[in-house]
């Protein structure tokens, strides 16, 4: 069934019904098939798209650019030093200016309130490309990847291991609650999510058949997982926390022993990326040397395994982001 999402912003999946999310996933699959068939689209023809980035990005930025171009849209990248947002000009003023020029605005940054304010004042759809609190376009790609691997979403056991209160843990909890997955956060108590959000997600879950549980047990907590998901231990903007997090999260590393403890030989591994799975980066090497470790949130062995679907997941960012843009501003 087609849903009319024209003119809507995409700030968190809490604002969308299960049926609307299903519609976006089906649209994403159709757009993926269309691209694979080599068919050039025009669903975003004539649309000017602003991409505001206060934080760095590989996948999200490139997914928005490629998705827009595939359908004839015209993306414009606005980095943190390129515009006045929040410095010389208020968010509300920038929003009203960009809204007069662009048909849609993507925002990645720190405060979730900023993306809400952009949506409130711009008068055009605003898409959340990650804030400290949520990362909803990533979750759409994750749901599509899970669906591609298992054929369905309802009843899938999705276990998120690591920093249980970051944007990914929060947004996956919302996505799972909406779509009827059994979601478990496995994390030390110091990093459990905010009570209010857990309560809200449990209320949503009551309507979809989902369950939301939280455990600090890295052995029992992963038992029965269909999907093992992790994210970096230190998110963008928290770079002073490596020592504290490594200390807290060492027992929660996704390694082959944890994989074995799931007891599931159909298991898949997901990670939103970027990932510190080896020392192949300058940053990684420096951090690992400083803290006497060789890997962080996931071992190289798991990351490179046949059940790791992280690059399918990364590709799915394009198709799902395209679906969001087409649904909200497309023809």
Q: Which of 70, 231, 295, 297 binds ligand NVA (CB under 6 A)?
A: 231
Q: In angstroms, what is the minimal distance from the CB of 327 to ligand CP?
A: 20
The helix/strand/coil state of 287 is: helix
Within 10 A of 239 (CB to CB), how many other CB atoms are there?
10
- Name which of ligand CP, ligand NVA, none residue 261 binds, using a CB cut-off of 5 to 8 Å depending on partner kind: none
Cβ distance to ligand CP smaller for residue 99 or 175 = 175
Buried residues in 37-65 as b, exposed as e (16+ CB within 10 A): eeeebebbeebbbbbbbbbebebbbebbb
Annotation marks residue 317 as catalytic: yes
DSSP letter (8 states) at residue 297: S
Contact 318, 66 (CB under 8 A): yes
- 270 lines the binding site for ligand NVA (CB under 6 A): no
Q: How far is the CB of 271 from ligand NVA (least distance, A)?
A: 9
Beta strands, E only, 96-194: 104-108, 126-128, 157-161, 182-186
Q: Which does 52 bind (CB under 5 to 8 A by kind): ligand NVA, ligand CP, none?
A: none
**Peptide bond preceding 274: is omega within 30 degrees of 0, i.e. cis?**
yes
Alpha-carbon distance of 160 to 169, in angstroms, equals 7
d(CA 161, CA 176): 15
Pull the structure tokens for residue 219: 């052995």
The reply to whether 272 sits near ligand NVA by the rule CB under 6 A is: yes
- Of 55 and 223, CB closest to ligand CP: 55
Shorter beta-carbon distance to ligand NVA: residue 176 or 232: 232
Could you say whether residue 321 binds ligand CP (CB under 6 A)? no
Q: Minimal distance in Å, beta carbon 313 to ligand CP? A: 9
Q: Which of 161, 236, 259, 267 binds ligand NVA (CB under 6 A)?
A: 236
Active-site annotation holder among 253, 272, 277, 319: 272
Confirm if 21 and 179 have CB atoms less than 8 A apart.
yes
Q: Is 231 a catalytic residue?
A: yes
Q: Is 318 in the site for ligand CP (CB under 6 A)?
A: no
Q: Which residues pair with 214 in a beta bridge?
A: 185
The reply to whether 277 belongs to the active site is no
Q: Shortest distance, CB of residue 57 to ligand CP, whole angstroms?
A: 3
Residues lying near ligand CP in the complex (CB under 6 A) are found at 57-60, 130, 138, 272-274
Residues lying near ligand NVA in the complex (CB under 6 A) are found at 130, 135, 166-168, 231-232, 235-236, 272
């Amino acid at each position: 069934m087609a849903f009319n999402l024209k003119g809507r912003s995409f700030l968190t999946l809490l604002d969308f019904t299960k049926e609307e999310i299903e519609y976006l996933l089906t649209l994403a699959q159709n757009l993926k098939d269309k691209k694979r068939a080599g068919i050039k689209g025009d669903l975003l023809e004539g649309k000017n798209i602003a991409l505001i980035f206060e934080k760095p990005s590989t996948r999200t930025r490139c997914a928005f650019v490629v998705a827009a171009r595939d359908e004839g849209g015209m993306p414009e990248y606005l980095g943190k030093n390129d515009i006045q947002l929040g410095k010389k000009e208020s968010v509300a003023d920038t929003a009203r200016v960009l809204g007069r020029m662009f048909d849609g605005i993507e925002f990645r940054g720190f405060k979730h309130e900023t993306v809400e304010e952009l949506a409130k004042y711009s008068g055009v759809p605003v898409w959340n490309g990650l804030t400290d609190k949520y990362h909803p376009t990533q979750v759409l790609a994750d749901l599509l990847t899970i669906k591609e691997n298992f054929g369905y979403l309802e009843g899938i056991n999705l276990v998120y291991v690591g920093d249980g209160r970051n944007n990914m843990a929060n947004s996956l909890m919302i996505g799972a609650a909406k779509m009827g997955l059994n979601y478990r956060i496995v994390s030390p108590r110091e990093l459990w999510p905010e009570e209010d959000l857990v309560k809200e997600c449990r209320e949503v879950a009551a309507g979809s058949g989902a369950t939301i549980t939280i455990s600090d047990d890295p052995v029992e907590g992963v038992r029965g997982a269909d999907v093992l998901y992790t994210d970096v231990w230190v998110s963008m903007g928290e770079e002073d926390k490596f020592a504290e997090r490594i200390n807290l999260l060492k027992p929660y590393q996704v390694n082959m022993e944890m994989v074995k403890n799931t007891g599931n030989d159909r298991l898949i591994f997901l990670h939103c990326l970027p990932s510190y799975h080896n020392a192949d980066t300058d940053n990684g090497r420096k951090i690992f040397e400083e803290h006497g470790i060789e890997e962080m949130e996931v071992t190289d062995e798991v990351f490179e395994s046949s059940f790791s679907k992280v690059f399918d997941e990364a590709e799915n960012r394009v198709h799902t982001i395209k679906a969001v843009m087409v649904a909200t501003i497309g023809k």
